[in-house]
Amino acid sequence: MIEEQINGNQTEGKDVKDMQDLRKRTFSRQELTELLRSDDPQLLQELFETARKIRDEVQGNKIFAYGFVYFTTYCRNNCNFCYYRKSNGIERYRKSEEEILAISKALIDSGVDLIDLTMGEDPAYHNDGFETLARIVRRIKEEYDTPVMVSPGVVDREIIDKLADAGADFYALYQETHNRELFAKLRVGQDYDERMNAKLYAKEKGMFIEEGLLAGVGEKEEDIADSLLIMGEIGARQVRVMSFIPQEGSPMENCRTPDRLEELKIIALMRLLYPTALIPASLDVDGIGGLKDRINAGANLITSIIPPKSGFMGVAQNTMDVDEGGRTVKEAAAILDEMGLRIAAKDEYRRFLREVK
Ligand code: SAM
Ligand code: MD0
Ligand code: SF4
């Protein structure tokens, strides 16, 4: 657990006079950079405690849960970090509309608060003008009365209009980094501004947006500090960070995955900066075993819940704990229970989403 790791670094009498007032809510780029760089055990302890306190003040013992439906793994892009990049010779799937509706229903019946419909940038969906995805969104909203997030990658404005009109609540599109040079190395051949503008247009259309970062891909603390501030500037309702997981067959397969302390510090700083933000503890980085640390860092949401033996996959850890039934609401609820926390009901989530700003 992260607490032992922090205490393990305990160096007696370490000067912590610079422990800042962590509840002040506005931090300069310099202050964020220093906090990200700090390995002072007492400061880190205070950082995580403050993040937990802020979360609990905002929402009590509730934690939200999202079902993850990665419905097509075909993609036209070649992101260097991604298993599903076009050039990777892997097996891919494209689920049918009925399979997508069935898995969504199973997830909803298991107690998730939202369905996250995620895809590779599959040319078949682009050629279809996203009619199928819009119909699926509408059916989940109307037949199952459940909030929906779409993660379709970069799409044109009229497609965003179509998905918003179908009732999609969230548009998730992660910049990974706001350092343009690093972006170009990660999302090869993709346009930084096109990606950012798609997100901003979705927000203009009244959708909530999720911004996301990768940790451990060559960024500096200053880059993370920039991203943390930009997340507020663009008004992201949900903000996330995922530690990079090397993927077989990708150009970054021999890069190492980062120490998780970076991800946990970023989650905590997101909480300090944005007390009412939705901040995921993603099960897609370290499986169900990674849940506790991320909740203890200030996350208020569990994502990447995938039913066992469903034939659906994750993204970063695309099979970890899935078929063993490790990535279920039931498993997560048992861990939360030990922490004095619980999975929120859908109407509690809806109220939080709309009323808690
Ligand atoms: N194709 C869509 C897109 O790229 O926006 C959605 C697919 S999935 C949500 C894409 C996200 O998963 C990426 O933006 C990245 O943040 C995360 N991801 C992909 N590969 C990863 C890896 N190897 N390690 C950690 N996160 C990864
Ligand atoms: C997750 N595996 O939440 C999912 C995915 C996409 N909107 C989310 C990265 O970790
Ligand atoms: Fe395609 Fe998304 Fe993977 Fe990039 S991250 S290769 S766009 S699925």
Distances (CA, A) of 4 to 10, 141, 162, 271, 293: 10, 44, 49, 22, 11
DSSP for 16-60?
-TT---TTS----HHHHHHHHH---HHHHHHHHHHHHHHHHHHHT
The domain spans of the chain are 28-355
Q: Is the CB of 314 under 6 A from ligand 2?
A: yes
Distance CA 316, CA 233 (A): 28
Token code pair at residue 88: 């990777």
Amino acid 138: pLDDT: 98
How far does the centroid of ligand 1 lie from the alpha carbon of residue 203, in Å?
A: 20
- For the CA of 174, the nearest ligand: 1
The 10 Å CB-count burial string (b at 16+, else e) for 149-166 is bbbbbbbeeebbebbbeb
Compute the residue count for the chain.
Answer: 357
pTM of the model: 0.95
Which of 311, 259, 265 has its CA nearest to residue 285?
259
Closest to 207 (Cα-Cα) out of 275, 161, 239: 161
Q: Is the CB of 315 under 6 A from ligand 1?
A: yes
Q: Please give the pLDDT value at position 25.
A: 73
- Does the C-beta of 304 come closer than 6 Å to ligand 2? yes
Q: Who lines ligand 3 at CB under 6 A?
A: 75, 77, 79, 82, 84-85, 120-121, 153
Q: Give the three-class secondary structure for 114.
A: strand
Residue with tokens 């992260």: 2
Query: How do the residues of the chain divide into helix, strand and coil, expressed in percent and rounded to 5?
Result: 45, 15, 40
Q: Which residue has the tokens 């993603």?
A: 282
Q: Look at residue 5 in the predicted model and tell me its pLDDT.
A: 58
Span from the CA of 119 to the centroid of ligand 3 (angstroms): 8
Q: Give the pLDDT score at 2.
A: 63
How much is the pLDDT for 4? Answer: 62
CATH superfamily of 28-355: Aldolase class I (3.20.20.70)
User: With contact defined as beta carbons under 8 Å apart, do 42 and 304 qualify?
Assistant: no
Cα 9 to Cα 41: distance, rounded to the nearest angstrom = 6
Q: Which two tokens stand for residue 161?
A: 């209009």
Question: Which residues are bridge partners to 119 per DSSP?
Answer: 72
By C-alpha distance, which of 90, 14, 33, 21 is closest to 220?
33
pLDDT tens track of the chain, all 357 residues?
566 656 554 444 333 334 458 987 789 999 999 999 999 999 999 999 999 999 999 999 999 999 999 999 999 999 999 999 999 999 999 999 999 999 999 999 999 999 999 999 999 999 999 999 999 999 999 999 999 999 999 999 999 999 999 999 999 999 999 999 999 999 999 999 999 999 999 999 999 999 999 999 999 999 999 999 999 999 999 999 999 999 999 999 999 999 999 999 999 999 999 999 999 999 999 999 999 999 999 999 999 999 999 999 999 999 999 999 999 999 999 999 999 999 999 999 999 998 888
